Chains A and B, each alone.
Chain A
């Protein structure tokens, strides 16, 4: 008798969630196997990459990350358009850095106006990401939800402390929420239960388990995501059967290893190449753990990850 590769028996499936609207809407999720285990099940929708746009000029980015966006970093609309036209972005993630109460502390109305302009200027799905300050995010994201009520945005992070107010706005205006929890399978599950109790329909939920870059505890994030997928796919845990979104660019580019110059530490090698590889490798690790949407920054890193996805899913 010929040898047969043992196969995992899957009893669950990740929910298919449609993000955005119109021709450029994307659908994520739907997996019936572990990531890229195409010999065991299906991955009907490939992972998607959202390119980052900031609503104010980023001050702490290393040169390598700024270079591809020279000239547009002070204009989120132009920046978003450049991502689409020059780098073929299939989604945009607008980071509302300017609303940080410990930074520029820009008001909700003003921030929402910017979101509206960006949303109007692009046709791909738009993720809007706050600052994880519960009071401020509640204020800002509710305003955004209202002002962009026909845009089918993806609003995050929605955490336990602010899930009611933002969740209610999302139900009211039909936006998707990113249920964000601090690296724990139980907390992740609890938040989707709470959102369900609130009345947020399943098709408006994606999960953010909190991620980090290489060298900063990525193993831990990996194993939490892996366990979430195991529970979803093999233990029919329907409260974990949501697509996973990974806000990974921020985490890799803020590290010392992505910033320190070659002159300062020659052993580290070329700083540009290093930053790109750190982002690409961190992103790839997240995909292997079960990520469905990656929020990324550098076009070169994105290119590398796209190639890897193509390679892994080649017939």
Chain B
């Protein structure tokens, strides 16, 4: 090409989303997809190293830098890595199911695995609605609309010391007259300072004509690095109306918080990430409101729990210093902000609350989990672990708490796992193996055809393979076993869980040695964190009176299997409680109880953070934990006994020459 012809835009059509976008020739295909609102999984953030963003070019031409992540066969089929491709002509692109980030999916019923643990709180939402009838103004009583309203509220509800949002004042005159001097006033309180005697000052945030007390809702969100979960709450009765989950749209910019923070340093990067997560949130809200038949104008507030990075990005605050030593957040407590100002599609009356954070890597999601599970209300010595992308742990009770972040990585949410997916329909969750012929038995969430493996499934699979002697304690396959299920794949040795015809994705679902290695690293980080943190406060794992496990990785976690792989300490099963998504639980409960809202603030202040990244002991413990269940067999007596018994009964483990 010698002539610089004026560049004409070309059209890219994405299936199955059925959306078009016009881009300049030469535009990166992944960028084009993001711009079109098509979410493609790109865990490496577009560096070309993860191979998760494969798409099928059905029509048209792209120019591709081919990496080793694309096999010859895939290349021939027309598959390309979106991040490595530049658009040359008009295109029709198909995004296969395994590359797709699902939008507001998951309408599955959440199995209730545990009752709410927090006890002794009053049902008293921070958001209240008051219906008040006022006398209409007369020549004798021509005081201002606002004075009239405040007087009415004082007389009728003994409400004083109110502050009134200017946005509410703007609506006042019209609302009073439209409602014929009958209006519903929405007030909101924020967390009181822990000092006793501090007087709370409710804010009037909305005034609606007539009686709207029945339309009284809020939203609770857990903004995770990998997934975003939301609930629509009804505040008169304290009910969950609908629940939704979606992949955080930021995944297209990288899988872990560090890559995201780095992306924020690029021009416009922070804005893009902020918009990506807001788009995800809006998708979930749309779904929730549609299912609950609720108007966005009746959402009183949005309660958000997220890790420190997610919180800062959502608020549009540069997270740069979170990743630079000595790791400082912008603030631990953020005042409520107007949700609509962040681009969140709810009425402008709705404030967005974020949970207070403890440190750069121990965020509001953990505070929320602690409050939701009531750890701060009891003397019981508790070990709390949130198994998410980062893996945070807390040890303590009502008197003291210490916490640390373990950098476990995204394996438990399906990240870095070849066929890993979030806990959604079609995710393999249960696994058993026939010891006589090494054939697997799998079952999936929703009993759908298998689509991938979720976090809890991964734990069950690895534990099952270990018990059957298919893998050794080092997580490596026993290659000499008489089964075709173990074979050499593109990423090394693998075990076939489901054959292509049985699956939704039309290809074999496997677990590879690399996957197992990633899971081992993740569980080692969690366990080593537990060991290091408990030793720092002079106790051992055996001292825990209860272990609370939070995480959004499946319907349930199999405690026994989790102990088998060394993720959880070898304690009696009755000490463990699984609460599911703890961050979401806390966000919900604080929407229901002002007391817990206060508690969140207190809990965040009482937690002492330990920085594991600079702890020599942690690294040592981590190395020791990179084994199944652990290098220190004596720390896992029941598992060691079980494995020894299985090995004895299973002479196939021995190799004959």
Question: Hey, which bits of chain A sit against chain B, CB under 8 A?
Answer: 142, 160, 164-165, 168-169, 172, 184-187, 189-190, 193-194, 197-199, 239
A189-B657 in contact given A160-B474, A197-B472, A197-B473 (Cβ < 8 Å): no
The minimal Cβ–Cβ distance linking B493 to chain A, given in whole angstroms, is 12
Determine whether B653 belongs to the interface, using a CB cutoff of 8 Å to chain A.
Answer: yes
List B613-657 residues whose CB lies under 8 Å from chain A: 620, 623-624, 626-627, 631, 633, 647, 653-657
Contact yes or no, B473 A194, CB < 8 A: yes
> Given contacts A193-B473, A194-B473, A194-B474, could you give 15 more A-B pairs where the C-beta distance is less than 8 Å?
A142-B657, A164-B655, A168-B655, A168-B656, A168-B657, A172-B657, A185-B623, A186-B620, A193-B627, A197-B472, A197-B647, A198-B654, A198-B655, A199-B654, A239-B633
Chain B contacts of A142 at CB under 8 A? 657
Which residues from chain A contact B476 at a C-beta distance below 8 Å? 160
Knowing A164-B655, A198-B654, A199-B654 touch, does A189 contact B631 (C-beta < 8 A)? Answer: yes
**Chain A residue, CB-CB nearest to B627:** A190
State whether A186 touches B624 (Cβ < 8 A): yes
Contact B656 A190 (CB under 8 A): no
A186-B623 CB under 8 A given contacts A194-B473, A197-B473:
yes
Q: Which 3 A-B pairs have the closest CB atoms?
A: A186-B623, A168-B655, A186-B624
Kindly provide the distance from the CB of A275 to the nearest chain B CB, expressed in whole angstroms: 35
Task: List chain A residues, Cβ under 8 A from B472.
Answer: 194, 197
What are 19 pairs between A and B in contact, CB < 8 Å? A164-B655, A169-B657, A186-B620, A186-B623, A186-B624, A186-B626, A186-B631, A190-B474, A190-B626, A190-B627, A190-B631, A193-B473, A193-B627, A194-B473, A197-B472, A198-B653, A198-B654, A199-B654, A239-B633
User: Which residues in window 493-539 of B have CB below 8 A to A?
Assistant: none
- Residue in B473, B474, B476 with the greatest tally of chain A CB atoms within 10 Å: B474
A164 to B656, CA, bound (A): 10
In Å, the complex CA distance between A185 and B627 comes to: 13
Q: Tell me, in angstroms, the Cα distance from A199 to B657 when the chains sit together.
A: 13
Instruction: Provide the main secondary structure of the chain B interface.
Output: loop
Q: B468-479, CB under 8 A of A: which get 1 and which 0?
A: 000011101000
Q: In the complex, what distance in Å separates the CA atom of A185 from the CA atom of B631?
A: 10
Contacts of A194 in B (CB 8 A): 472-474
Complex interface bits, B150-161 against A, C-beta within 8 A gives 1, otherwise 0: 000000000000
Q: How far is the CA of A165 from the CA of B653 in the complex (A)?
A: 13
B627–A186 touching, CB < 8 Å: yes
Closest Cβ of chain A to B524, distance in Å, is 10
Complex Cα distance, B633 from A193, in Å, reads 9
Q: Which residue of B lies closest to A184 (CB)?
A: B623
A169, B624: Cα distance in complex, Å: 28
Q: Give the chain A neighbours of B631 by CB distance below 8 A.
A: 186, 189-190, 193
Docked-complex contact A197 and B653, CB < 8 angstroms = yes
Q: What residue of chain A has the Cβ atom nearest to residue B640's Cβ?
A: A193
Closest beta carbon of chain A to B146's beta carbon, Å: 70
CB neighbours (8 Å) of B480 from chain A are 164
Chain B proximity of A174: nearest CB distance (Å): 13
A58–B647 alpha-carbon span in the complex (Å): 45
| CA A164 to CA B653, docked complex, whole Å | 10
Q: Once the chains are docked, how many angstroms separate the CA of A189 from the CA of B633?
A: 10
**Shortest distance from the beta carbon of B144 to any chain A beta carbon, whole Å:** 75
Interface of B with A (CB < 8 Å)? 472-474, 476, 480, 620, 623-624, 626-627, 631, 633, 647, 653-657
Contact A187 B623 (CB under 8 A): yes
CB distance from B481 to the nearest CB of A (A): 12
How far, in angstroms, from A199 to B623 measured CA to CA in the complex? Answer: 24
Inter-chain contacts of A169 with B (CB < 8 A): 657
Distance in Å: Cβ of A202 to nearest Cβ of chain B: 15
- On chain B, the residues within 8 Å of A189 by CB distance are 631
CB distance from A185 to the nearest CB of B (A): 8
Q: Which residue of B lies closest to A160 (CB)?
A: B474
Bound CA–CA A193/B626 (angstroms): 13
Specify which chain B residues have a CB less than 8 angstroms from the CB of A160 in the assembled complex: 474, 476
Q: What's the minimum C-beta distance from B387 to chain A, rounded to whole angstroms?
A: 23
Give every chain A residue within 8 A of B647 (Cβ-Cβ). 197
Bound CA span A197–B653, Å: 8
A168 to B656, CA, bound (A): 7
B residues within 8 A CB of A185? 623
Most chain B CB within a 10 A radius of its CB, from A185, A186, A189, A193:
A186
Provide the bound-state CA to CA distance between A289 and B129, in Å.
75
User: For A184, what are the chain B residues with a Cβ–Cβ distance below 8 Å?
Assistant: 623
Q: How far is the CA of A194 from the CA of B628 in the complex (A)?
A: 11
Distance of A121 Cα from B473 Cα, bound (Å)? 41
- When distances are taken between beta carbons in the complex, the residues of chain B under 8 Å from A187 are 623
CA distance A197 to B633 in the complex (A): 13
Residues of B contacting A197 with CB < 8 Å?
472-473, 647, 653
Q: Which of B473, B620, B657 has the most chain A CB atoms inside 10 A of its CB?
A: B657
A185 to B620, CA, bound (A): 9
Question: How far, in whole Å, are A160 and B627 apart by their CA atoms in the complex?
Answer: 12
A165 to B656, CA, bound (A): 9
Residues of chain B within 8 A (CB-CB) of A199 are 654
Q: How far is the CA of A71 from the CA of B36 in the complex (A)?
A: 77
- B58 smallest CB distance to A (angstroms): 42
The CA of A239 and the CA of B624, in the complex, are separated in Å by: 13
Give complex CA distance A274, B476 in Å.
Answer: 45
Q: List residues of chain A with CB within 8 A of the CB of B633.
A: 193, 239
| Chain A residues, Cβ within 8 Å of B473 | 190, 193-194, 197
How close is B266's CB to chain A, nearest CB, in angstroms? 38
A239 to B657, CA, bound (A): 25
Nearest CB of chain A from residue B532's CB, rounded to whole Å: 15
Bound Cα distance from A168 to B472, whole angstroms: 15
Contacting residues, chain B, for A165 (C-beta < 8 A): 655
Give the distance to chain A from B406, nearest Cβ to Cβ, in Å. 17
A185 and B619 CA atoms in complex are apart in Å by 12
Chain A residue numbers with a CB within 8 Å of B654 are 198-199
Distance in angstroms from A20 CB to nearest chain B CB is 22
- Name the distance in Å between A210's Cβ and chain B's nearest Cβ: 15
Contact partners of B656 in chain A: CB under 8 A: 168
Please indicate the chain B residues that have their CB under 8 angstroms from the CB of A168 in the complex: 655-657
CA distance A124 to B657 in the complex (A): 28
Most buried by B among A160, A169, A193: A193
Distance of A186 Cα from B635 Cα, bound (Å): 14
Compute how far the CA of A185 lies from the CA of B653 in the bound complex, rounded to whole angstroms: 25
A203 and B633 CA atoms in complex are apart in Å by 21
- Which residue of the partner chain A has the closest CB to B626? A186
Q: How far is the CA of A186 from the CA of B626 in the complex (A)?
A: 9
Q: Which residue of A lies closest to B656 (CB)?
A: A168
Cβ-closest chain A residue relative to B653: A197
Closest chain B residue, CB of each to CB of A191: B474
CB contacts (< 8 Å) of A172 on chain B: these are 657
Q: Given the complex, which residues of B lie within 8 Å of A186, measured CB to CB?
A: 620, 623-624, 626-627, 631
Q: How far is the CB of A259 from chain B (nearest CB, A)?
A: 35
Measured CB to CB, the nearest residue on chain B to A199 is B654
Residues of chain B contacted by A239 (CB below 8 angstroms): 633
Q: Which residues of A contact B653 (CB under 8 A)?
A: 197-198
The smallest beta-carbon distance between A113 and chain B, in angstroms, is 20
Cα(A314)–Cα(B59), bound, Å = 86
What is the CA–CA distance of A239 and B656 in the complex, to the nearest angstrom? 24
Complex CA gap A193/B474 in Å reads 10
A164 to B477, CA, bound (A): 11
Q: Bound state CA distance, A111 and B472, in angstroms?
A: 31
Which B residues are CB-close (under 8 A) to A164?
A: 480, 655
CB A43 to nearest CB in B, in angstroms, measures 27
Residue among A142, A172, A189, A197 having the largest count of chain B Cβ atoms under 10 Å: A197
Q: With A and B bound together, what is the CA distance between A62 and B647 in angstroms? A: 51
CB nearest to A142 among chain B residues? B657
Smallest CB separation, A282 vs chain B (Å)? 25
From A169, A172, A190, name the one whose CB has the most chain B CB atoms within 10 angstroms: A190
Minimum CB–CB distance for A76 against chain B, Å: 27
Minimal beta-carbon separation of B473 from chain A (angstroms): 6
A185 and B633 alpha carbons, distance in the complex (Å)? 14
Bound together, the chains give a CA A168 to CA B623 distance in angstroms of 27
